Structure 1
Amino acid sequence: MVIAEIKSNFHRDLNGLYTASEVETLFVIFVEEVLKINRVQLRNWNEPLNDAVILKFQNALSALKTGKPYQQIIGKAQFFGEVFKVNEHTLIPRPETEELLEMAIREIKKLKNKNIQILDIGTGSGVIPIILKKYFPSAEITSMDICPEAIAIAKENAQTHQSEIHFIREDYLHTTLSKKYDIIISNPPYIGKDENDEIEDTVKKFEPNIALFSPTEDPLIFYRKIAMDAENHLINGGMILLEINQKLGQETLALYHHFSSAQLIKDLSGNDRILFITK
């Protein structure tokens, strides 16, 4: 079997599940992963494939046909120009979270003091604290998650990226903070239970529901606790940056009306996505 046959199989088996351009992208991703060659080298690749390589492509194709995200199949995801390990216990990082990080970096750069304390709530694979640590190496970052398996992946990613971060396995909703922070940042579970039918079945099947859905009937429960905690555990002049449910922008904003300022910011798709608060 040659690579052209593998490509043909991808388009045949994934037709209807993905667009032709998406299938082409997936094919190239797995070529790079399995054969360790890039898109340019692929054009001139005509070597026969051995059985072990063919099996890897067949296994990948079988997994893709179930709707499993390619990032989970290869065990890694691109985010903010870096590569991070992911698995079924960690949410696959989204472009909207890159927008949250871009804003955080921009605002933190304005601070005179870079020896800051940052609290990251719901760390998942650890992408937020690791990127922040790259930009602000003198910052002390504490990252929290309820899932021990997610914390394990976050620690692996931090080690890979040589980032010193204090990871805590804890349920934030039942946590009492012990110190003050300069920055609180979070992309917490914010999908309401009434929105269950609106979420793609493959997302619900393969990604951790604990990272997607609010644990109670209140989709704003994390935002309420962050607002309360910030009263005593965010320094004056400190900042809160939150990724939010696009359908609950005004409701989330209202929780922070008593702070010095609170801004609702739209993402590149025009949806309410980020809440930026200063105390």
Structure 2
Amino acid sequence: MTLHQIQELFYTGLASHYTRAEIRIIFNAVAEKIVKTKPDTDRQEVSEKEMSHFSEMLEALQSGKPYQQVIGETEFYGLNFKVNEHVLIPRPETEELLELALQQLMDKTKLKILDIGTGSGIIPVVLKKHLPDAEVFAVDISPKALKIASENAKLQEVDIKFSQMDYLRTELEGQYDVIISNPPYIGLDEEADIFSGVKDFEPTIALFAPVPDALVFYRKIAEDCKILLKKGGLIFLEINQLLGAETLALFTPVLEEASLLKDLSGNDRFVVGRK
């Protein structure tokens, strides 16, 4: 069977899940993963073993599993990252968060940076790639997520200091020039509104606040800014679009400057500030 014929199977098998354009992107990613080169869909024959892999991946995709998890990797901020069921799949909004941060940090040197709730490690890895002389620390509650984060740091050849901890129950020490975070911020009352493909396959611990208060992480970060963030230090947060004003209000008392910014879709998505 040729790759072209398999591609047609994907179009048919995934028609109820994705648009044709989306299926083409997914198929190309799957095919490149299996045949190890960019596919020639007109002529290239596949082996029985490769066909078995295609069938397994198609079945997983039909179950609703995100294609990034199916192939075990994704592209983010121009870099390749490993992902699995223990970490969130990176969203475009987090690329926007990093763009906001790097715009303000690129002219600075020897920064000490803390990422809270690092997950797959995309935030600290991207920062370290662009700020090679920075000292970057990252914390997360999940050992399985930190394993992926460590692998991503190794993959991108950067040195990140990872620590496993329950941030909400931990009093951190030291001071930082930058605190950045994309913590769990979906309220339990919003669960019904979340797409099943997200709830069923991505870690709920990384999606939902662990208590009814969806702002619990932001309250802790705001309190920690009093001690952990250096004078003149910067903070960059991705937030729940429904709680923009409430999140900003937590930081205005502890920062000299604090702003609520929108993402490219026009939603309240970021709080950025300076102590």
Task: Decide: shared fold, TM above 0.5.
Answer: yes
1:247 and 2:245 matched? no
Counterparts of 1:203 and 1:31, CA distance in 2: 24
Point out the more displaced range, 4-13 or 64-73: 4-13
**Pair 1:42 & 2:40 matched:** yes
Q: Which moved more, 1:209-218 or 1:27-36?
A: 27-36
What count of residue pairs does the alignment treat as equivalent? 274
Structure 2 residue 22 is matched with structure 1 residue 22? yes
Show the counterpart of 1:227.
222
Using structure 2 for the length normalisation, give the TM-score: 0.97
Q: Within 5 Å, give how 1:159-198 maps onto structure 2.
A: 159-198=154-193
| Deviation string, structure 1 residues 22-45 (Cα, Å, up to 9, x no partner) | 11111111121112232xx525x4
Q: Please, which moves more after superposition, 210-219 or 101-110?
A: 101-110
Q: CA RMSD in A?
A: 1.1
1:212-266 deviation digits (Å, cap 9, x = unpaired): 0000000000000100000011111001100000111011011111221111111
Q: CA deviation at 1:108?
A: 1.0
What residue number does 2:9 align with? Answer: 9
Moved more, 24-33 or 100-109: 24-33
- Paired residue for 1:122? 117
TM-score normalised by L of structure 1: 0.96
Query: Equivalent residue for 1:277?
Result: 273
Cα displacement (A) at 1:48: 2.7
Q: Deviation string for 1:153-176 (max 9, x for gaps)? A: 111111111111110000110111
Look up the equivalent residue of 2:258 and give its one-letter code.
A
Tell me the equivalent position of 2:69.
72
In 2, the alpha carbon distance for the partners of 1:185 and 1:59 equals: 38
Matched, 1:156 2:130: no
Q: Distance in 2 between matches of 1:50 and 1:7?
A: 15
Distance in 1 separating the partners of 2:17 and 2:111: 46
Deviation string, structure 1 residues 158-214 (Cα, Å, up to 9, x no partner) = 111111111000011011111111100000000000000000111001000000000
Q: Deviations over 1:69-101 (max 9, x none)?
A: 111111111000000111110111111000000
d(CA) in 1 for partners of 2:11 and 2:45? 20
**Matched residue SS, 1:42:** coil
In 2, the alpha carbon distance for the partners of 1:116 and 1:48 equals 52
Paired amino acid for 2:246: E
Instruction: State the alpha-carbon separation in 1 of the partners of residues 179 and 133 from structure 2.
Output: 16
Q: Which deviations, in whole Å up to 9, do the C-alpha atoms of 1:112-154 show, x marking residues without a partner?
A: xx11111100001101101111111111111000000011111
